Structure 1
């Protein structure tokens, strides 16, 4: 039942914001979702009874009212997805089938899609510290001037840094980019998955993105 529910919320958002792209709508739904239940406890994994992780909960429980006014959005256009497909080594024929266009520019392939979540893969057998970087651009869809401050839900043994950690917007629809860096320890436990969150807050909005660090090799 999740698909029709989300489709309904997406239609609601498109009706309220007819200039938003599919990526903007997805971002609004994800970053405003709840990870706490109505008793203010972290939502539980029904299978284990433990705190639900992003692998079970995703970005969270959808909150349509908050999604109508997300504050910030992570937008993406056709070329962003083409860059991703190119980086994933899709052939031009494959990309043409997906985009329905015979002209696809693969000059700037990138796995760093402007997506409102982060997953970092580390080699469990590596004895040196490795840092992974993620670049994101957010658009202020709130009204007027505002300042967002970053906070990190920490992940044990990992150092996570955001530059800049404060985003100062002077007007609506202004875009600002930031970089999130995740530094892993010298030795990482094999088949380990850990979780945290990056949260941007101003006086009105909470914009949350899950962070996953792992030594697993998932088939994406």
Structure 2
């Protein structure tokens, strides 16, 4: 059965990361409530949301692909500062507040990753941590960064692939892609659990269309 790879996200950053694997994929936009549950910690939150995004993505596209094996990728990310979960700021004021709280501290980002196959109902999920050590930042530096890059829909209020790199003393983690939102090393392993070997697929992946956006 042909395989169809689907990214349950419209993030241009996650799409750019997935393109590194040199496999065609389409995208869907799962609309889910990302509010943490009562007493839910960061690891459980991102694992639950990544899995929910993958399964919701499967519902959105499965009717259109009756003759293809679907592998749906879901991902979610939060930061933890002073034991508090920090998500997307959404406003300039919140972004400045988040970065002010992070200044001079080492914080941990948790990225949940899930691969779901609607046909088999199999879901594979993991959570990848990544540590960020922030410089001691002045209020002027923080405001200048936020106004320059507008990181309003990024957990932690920065874009590490852009000017955000100027905020850090040091980065620590197994996969630098994790911080941007899609840990590719773990993703390759999860796809393998569903029978898709990324390296072998370079020769015999059965979908030859160009990447499309749904």
TM-score using structure 2 length: 0.31
Higher relative contact order (CA 8 A, sep 6+): 2
